[in-house]
Structure 1
């Protein structure tokens, strides 16, 4: 167990800092989640539900003009019916910052607990907030935006390449690159076989998942991939049992791809 000169458990300190990082970055995601959550083919949102301009991509999903009283009684009553009474008062038009901050903080804390002080932790902490954002958007509208998936794959490989130059890292950049190509190719085959069941956004997201899982080797890649499909199958089965979906109902697979990669990285980090 590592300790600082002040007697503080260094591993615990790393987890706390990671959780604070996750909370801070997660609190900035609601506005981006709202703006990206549009059906495929439509432009990103630039207005709140009452047609006031939404500026910027980071921050709370809350409209200052709506909160300032520039709304009719009917509009506020409609918001109360959909989002609850507090939402109308606070002019919230998307996820609350607290919920996304909590989720991202837990993800980052778990990654820090598994990875410890190894340099790849910085990569996981940088990739975690966009991963949470992608999961939220896909759950809402079954879409994985290109401005998030493609840069994320490039960033993952570039950051892991830099990490491979640092001492005490526990992975291999070569297998990260090959893992990205292998998993991306595998998902591409699934997309070509059944486009209705696998979106092309999942193919692009698989590049990132393959990179982070491949960093810890092929067994981790297979474990994370299997976990994603297993979680997706459980979710689909639960919907069938609850009669909320049929056998041909399409479900968003991105969140399960991300969750599988997350679990695989945890396992790979603990085993490294």
Structure 2
């Protein structure tokens, strides 16, 4: 196996790990409305490490993207208390790192689609009278769906 093949394999492993963690967190957040630190934080560190090994020239942008998305979600949490949970804020760092590793456009698309998809879901629930304005809706699944859409678009 050549060096470039090995690096491509490491990038593939990072993305498969992100997919596995995404599915695991979606399941937990839908059922329990929480995103456990014990999953989010080690996953963020491990996946960032793998992406850094796969393509070291991209890790700076990925780190900045993770910080930017984390700070954006933290600002939203502080501006609109009760709107986002702490788990969403921490998950934003993982999502930002993965999307940022790919590029700024992927970060923008993934970040915006999270709100478009989550907002559309909330509007549908309201229209169907399955939720009220004060109903808590898990946002982690929409963050992760937006991230994957950003990667695939």
Query: CA offset at residue 121 of structure 1?
Result: 2.0
Q: Mapping of 1:144-183 within 5 angstroms?
A: 144-165=35-56, 172-183=58-69
- Please tell me whether Structure 1 or Structure 2 has the larger radius of gyration of its CA atoms: 1
Partner SS, residue 96 of structure 2: helix
Answer yes or no: is 1:254 the counterpart of 2:145: no
Aligned equivalent of 1:241: 127
Could you give the per-residue CA deviations for residues 202-225 of structure 1, whole angstroms, max 9, x where no partner exists?
A: 000000000010011111100000
- Aligned-partner Cα distance in 2 for 1:133–1:198: 19
Partner SS, residue 173 of structure 1: helix
User: Runs in 1 of length 4+ with deviation above 3 angstroms?
Assistant: none
Aligned equivalent of 1:131: 22
- Aligned-partner Cα distance in 1 for 2:103–2:119: 25
- Aligned-partner Cα distance in 2 for 1:185–1:156: 20
TM-score (norm 2): 0.90
TM-score (norm 1): 0.52
Aligned equivalent of 1:185: 71
Could you give the per-residue CA deviations for residues 28-69 of structure 1, whole angstroms, max 9, x where no partner exists?
A: xxxxxxxxxxxxxxxxxxxxxxxxxxxxxxxxxxxxxxxxxx
- Aligned-partner Cα distance in 1 for 2:146–2:76: 17
What is the aligned counterpart of 2:107 among 202, 207, 221? 221
- Aligned-partner Cα distance in 2 for 1:264–1:251: 22
Unaligned regions of 5+ residues in structure 1, if any?
1-116, 166-170, 268-272
- Aligned-partner Cα distance in 2 for 1:208–1:234: 23
Alignment RMSD: 1.5
Query: CA offset at residue 122 of structure 1?
Result: 2.0
Higher relative contact order (CA 8 A, sep 6+): 2
Query: CA offset at residue 195 of structure 1?
Result: 2.6
Bigger proportion of residues as helix: 2
Query: CA offset at residue 164 of structure 1?
Result: 1.1
Query: CA offset at residue 118 of structure 1?
Result: 4.0
Answer yes or no: is 1:199 the counterpart of 2:85: yes
